């Protein structure tokens, strides 16, 4: 059996307006790609472990809208969603509206590995996190809230501007979007994961695309793996991750598949966002329909590459 060439790509969100440091945003995805690549470089390092490591890096970085530094609901609370998927057997684990852990992606993986379920939400997910079987340390709700997110919520309250069907409509300082990672390991196994704090000023209990299979992620060893970012309601309507992989399955390159899926979403529901993809044969692609998307990828041939522009330059 031939060995695959390992690769990982991560994103830190796709946005159309921002008030934050692009250099810090770019550094956050570079750190995440390095964390995932360090796993893949080890003998036996798995795509699933690499994806989890990369996303944990971003969840623990307050620059990112996931884990610590998540956006706040209209009543000033943190409600986080995350998902992880194993391309070898299509196993999935996801959580929604959790507020008791720093790394929701790890909790999502525990749902996949230790329960018969795909998705746990709200208090049920928080109770599962606190169970001894998970081994996940819980944190106070205050630990997850940053001054930046408080400021963004105050701006939201002042201007009363919510994200509409067109993802270009955002309040100033609206923060970053969903984070995600996709990896291929030397055994040819693919994995994908996505994690988010949602959108500033969302209604309590709102769940976007992230924890929904085929929307926030999809991974299948026979095709490829994808993670999405952008306006969650739009992504859910068109099942964006699965749509992009259908295009890959039909013979399009990962770059072409990402662009075509995003163009379709914009045309059909006026939604904007971004996608990262790795095909089963280790081709990397990404694209977005917003002004900026932080991305970074790493493989043995090219080393570490990163940027905040939307379109693949490979």
**pLDDT at 164 > cutoff 80:** no
Quick one: how far is CA 208 from the chain centroid?
Answer: 12
Per-residue model confidence as pLDDT tens digits over 196-215:
999 888 999 999 999 999 99
Closest CA to 87 of 217, 197, 175: 217
Whether 87 maps to a domain, the answer reads yes
Q: Is the pLDDT of residue 167 over 70?
A: no
Domain span including residue 249: 7-307
pLDDT of residue 1: 43
pLDDT score of 15: 82
Give residue 291's pLDDT. 87
CATH number at residue 295: 3.60.20.30
Crossing angle of helices 122-130 and 104-114, rounded to 10°:
80
Select the more confidently predicted residue: 221 or 151.
Answer: 221
How confident is the model over 229-280, as pLDDT tens digits? 999 999 999 999 999 999 999 999 999 999 999 999 999 999 999 999 999 9
74-101: average pLDDT: 96
Q: What is the mean pLDDT of residues 25-41?
A: 96
What pTM was estimated for this model as a whole? 0.92
Domains held by the chain: number = 1
Q: How far apart are CA 93 and CA 109, in angstroms?
A: 5
Q: Is residue 2 part of a domain?
A: no
Q: How far apart are CA 88 and CA 106, in angstroms?
A: 19
Residues 6+ apart with CB under 8 A from 160: none
CA distance readout (Å), 184 to 130, 196, 248, 282 = 31, 22, 16, 7
Q: What percent of the chain has pLDDT over 90?
A: 77
Residue 147's pLDDT band, with cuts at 50, 70 and 90, is: confident
Active-site residue flag, 46: no
Exposed e or buried b for every residue in 277-289, given b needs 16+ CB within 10 A?
bbbbebbbbbbbb
* Of the candidates 262, 307, 253, 261, the residue with the CA atom closest to the CA atom of residue 285: 253
- Exactly one of 178, 196, 229, 290 is catalytic; which is it? 178
Task: Give a yes or no: residue 20 inside a domain.
Answer: yes
Distance (Å, rounded) from C-alpha 113 to C-alpha 81? 17
In a domain, 1, yes or no: no
In this prediction, residue 3 carries a pLDDT of 74
Q: How far apart are CA 115 and CA 102, in angstroms?
A: 21
Q: How many whole angstroms separate alpha carbon 36 and alpha carbon 41? A: 9
Residue 40 burial (CB count, 10 A): 25
Q: Looking at the predicted structure, is the pLDDT value of residue 163 above 70?
A: no
Residue for token pair 């529901």:
269
């Amino acid at each position: 059996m031939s060995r695959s060439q390992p690769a990982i790509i991560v994103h830190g969100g796709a946005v159309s307006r921002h008030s934050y440091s692009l250099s810090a945003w770019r550094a956050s995805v570079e750190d995440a790609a390095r964390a995932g690549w360090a796993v893949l470089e080890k003998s036996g390092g798995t795509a699933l472990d690499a994806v989890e490591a990369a996303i944990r890096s971003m969840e623990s970085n307050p620059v990112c809208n996931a884990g610590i530094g998540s956006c706040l609901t209209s009543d000033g609370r943190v409600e986080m969603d995350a998902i992880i998927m194993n391309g070898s057997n299509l196993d999935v684990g996801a959580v929604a509206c959790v507020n008791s852990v720093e790394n929701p992606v790890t909790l999502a993986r525990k749902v996949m590995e230790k329960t018969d379920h795909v998705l746990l939400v709200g208090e049920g997910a928080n109770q599962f996190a606190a169970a001894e079987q998970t081994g996940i340390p819980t944190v106070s709700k205050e630990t997850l809230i940053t001054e930046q997110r408080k400021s963004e919520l105050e701006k939201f309250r002042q201007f009363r501007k919510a994200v509409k069907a067109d993802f270009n409509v955002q309040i100033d300082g609206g923060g970053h979007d969903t984070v995600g990672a996709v990896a291929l390991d030397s055994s040819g196994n693919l994995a994908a994961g996505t994690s988010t704090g949602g959108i500033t000023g969302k209604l309590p209990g709102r769940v976007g695309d992230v924890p929904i299979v085929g929307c926030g992620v999809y991974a299948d060893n026979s095709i490829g793996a994808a993670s999405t970012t952008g306006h969650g309601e739009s992504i859910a309507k068109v099942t964006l991750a699965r749509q992009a992989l259908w295009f890959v399955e039909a013979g399009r390159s990962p770059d072409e598949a990402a662009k075509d899926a995003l163009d379709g979403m914009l045309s059909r529901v006026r939604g904007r966002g971004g996608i990262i993809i790795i095909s089963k044969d280790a081709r990397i692609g990404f694209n977005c329909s917003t002004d900026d998307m932080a991305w970074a990828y790493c493989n043995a041939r090219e080393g570490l590459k990163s940027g905040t522009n939307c379109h693949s330059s490979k």
